[in-house]
Amino acid sequence: MNTHLIVDNLTNPALLFFMLGILSVQLKSDLEIPAGTSKFISLYLLFSIGFKGGQELAHSQFSAEIVGALVFGVCIAAIVPLYAFFVLKRFFSIDNAGAIAAAYGSISAVTFVTAVAFLEVQGHQFSGYMVAVMALMEAPAIIIGVLLMRLFGATDGAQPNQLRKVIAHSVTNGSVLLIVGSLVVGLLASEKQAMGIKPFTTDIFKGFLAIFLLDMGIVSGRKLADFFKTGFTATFFAILFPLINGCLVALCSKMVTDSIGNRFVFAILAASASYIAVPAAMKIAAPNANPGIYLPMALAVTFPFNITIGMPLYYMVIQWY
């Protein structure tokens, strides 16, 4: 294993700010990022990535590779929750198994943002259409998770129009809408127009990412202690499952693209877990599912695992094959 790559990632300022957030909770510090500021930074990161992706897409020729990448991404988002559910229902209730499967089949936009920064450090670019792939991967897993819960006899309080609400939420979810909308704006804007806002979309990106990860560290630190009381099964799954998915997709992605950057993005999307869109959807679709299980799994275990160990590992797998 390339220890230099791991050390580089572990000393990345953005990651160190994440660890600082966790440490502040353990020290019972009053350090806190105001909710409004945190939300603004989240929106900024999604806007910046979507816009830059649109610009990249504007310079790309529509090809079979783009179609293949979109189909490949949707297939990942559909297959992962299927096999996750059948493993999980042996250890959790149907509701919890469906919610966890949906979380791990869907994606984390914040992990994607961190992966972009990792690629920049390694000197690799990814294609703009990968932003569209990411946006398409969020909703299918949520829908499949809900369908599996219905099929295997999940929640009692289900309303007839629940599934329709979940599908609508998946499409109109703020993070999805902003990143897709920014992608379209970036696609339509000319290069000269894009240069006018480049200091905002590019130059300050890493600084905002560091502050955002500080906030995520604080949030994770607050959830970590209670989560570990749920036992080892959830923790084991939250580490092993993304590890398997990330490595498998890092290998299989070679079928649709030769770009190291694109393959890395595919791997990290497959390995990530949603802790924004899925919890919001599960409040509607699975009120009996326990957010105290699936939310800390995604946020307090899988997210830090991916940005510390996962990303260097997936990158090495791609370089190896």
The per-residue pLDDT for range 55-105, each reduced to its tens digit, is: 877 776 777 888 899 899 989 999 999 999 999 999 888 988 999 999 999
Second CATH level (architecture) for the domain 3-21+33-320: Up-down Bundle (1.20)
200-207: average pLDDT? 82
* Interatomic CA distance for residues 185 and 180, integer angstroms: 9
- Where are the domains positioned within the chain? 3-21+33-320
Q: Encode 64-109 in three state secondary structure.
A: HHHHHHHHHHHHHHHHHHHHHHHHHCCCCCHHHHHHHHHHHHCCCH
Give the predicted TM-score (pTM) of the model. Answer: 0.76
**Tokens representing 312?**
């260097």
Q: What is the pLDDT of residue 242?
A: 95
pLDDT, tens digit (0-9, with 9 covering 90-100), for 168-193: 766 676 666 777 788 789 888 888 88
For 179-206, b/e burial (b = at least 16 CB within 10 A) is bbbbbebbbebeeeebeeeeeebeeebe
Q: Tell me what pLDDT residue 196 has.
A: 85
Please say whether the beta carbons of 25 and 222 come within 8 A.
yes
Confidence (pLDDT) at 226 = 62
Q: Which two tokens stand for residue 244?
A: 């398997």
Q: From 190, 173, 188, select the one nearest 46 (Cα to Cα).
A: 173
Mean pLDDT of 311-320: 92
| pLDDT band at 157; cut points 50, 70, 90 | very low
Residue 34 has pLDDT above 70, yes or no: yes
CA 2, CA 94: separation in Å to the nearest integer?
Answer: 40
When pLDDT is cut at 50, 70 and 90, the band that residue 248 belongs to is: very high
Q: What is the pLDDT of residues 12-24, one digit of tens each?
A: 787 788 889 889 9
Q: 268 is written with which tokens?
A: 């990290």
Which residue bears the tokens 């390995």?
271
273 contact partners, CB below 8 Å, separation of at least 6: 103, 104, 106, 108, 238, 242, 297, 298, 302, 303
